[in-house]
Amino acid sequence: MKLLKIFDNRRSKLGAQPIIYRNAVRAIIMKGSKVLMIFSETSKEYKFPGGGIEKDESRDIALKREVLEEVGHKIKSVNEGLGYTDQIYNDIYDDSKYFYQRSYYYFCEIEEEYIGMKLSESEIALKFLPKWATLEEAIKVNEYKIETNNEFPWTERELYILKLLKEMTP
């Protein structure tokens, strides 16, 4: 899988600091001209379904688990990978540490049957809802979020992937 982009948003780059590593998976689920995104009613922005890979978990299993938790549908098939992004930024809990996250993006298809979501406490607080949106809609919403008050590190990353998908679409 190829590197798509590195987002280095550290406030300072002085010397070696402790680094917290996290690998994550993200699902790109398309239906016609729409993409299934997670919309946060709290922060008013879109993100791709997905999340962190747990210890001893494969990317494939993590992707299936995360999509079921956040979207409420089982994955029917995991297709080709689009690529991955790397993000480096100061940890939100300890500014003296860096957080390094690698996010792998995969094209997926989901089953029609809705099983039910299993959101974490933080996802409930952000009022995560699965929502079909056109690429243009999602891009517009996330661009506005970045221009006005971007509080989450994923917004810029997700906007980049949305724009990449738009470029790939005829």
How far is it, in rounded angstroms, from Cα 125 to Cα 10? 26
- Please tell me whether residue 17 adopts helix, strand or coil conformation: coil
**pLDDT score for 9:** 86
**pLDDT score for 142:** 96
Q: Which of 5, 1, 4, 13 is nearest to 89 (CA)?
A: 13
**pLDDT score for 63:** 97
Q: Which of 69, 60, 63, 84 is nearest to 115 (CA)?
A: 69
β-bridge partners, 87: 7, 101
**pLDDT score for 1:** 93
Domains and CATH numbers, the chain: 3-168 (3.90.79.10)
Instruction: Please identify every stretch of the chain with a pLDDT value under 70, giving residue numbers as ranges.
Output: 13-16
Residue 25 tokens read as 């998976």
How far is it, in rounded angstroms, from Cα 100 to Cα 130? 26
Tally DSSP H helices, then E strands, for the chain: 4, 8
**pLDDT score for 17:** 73
Structure confidence by residue, pLDDT tens digits, 6-50: 999 887 766 667 788 999 999 999 999 899 999 999 999 999 999
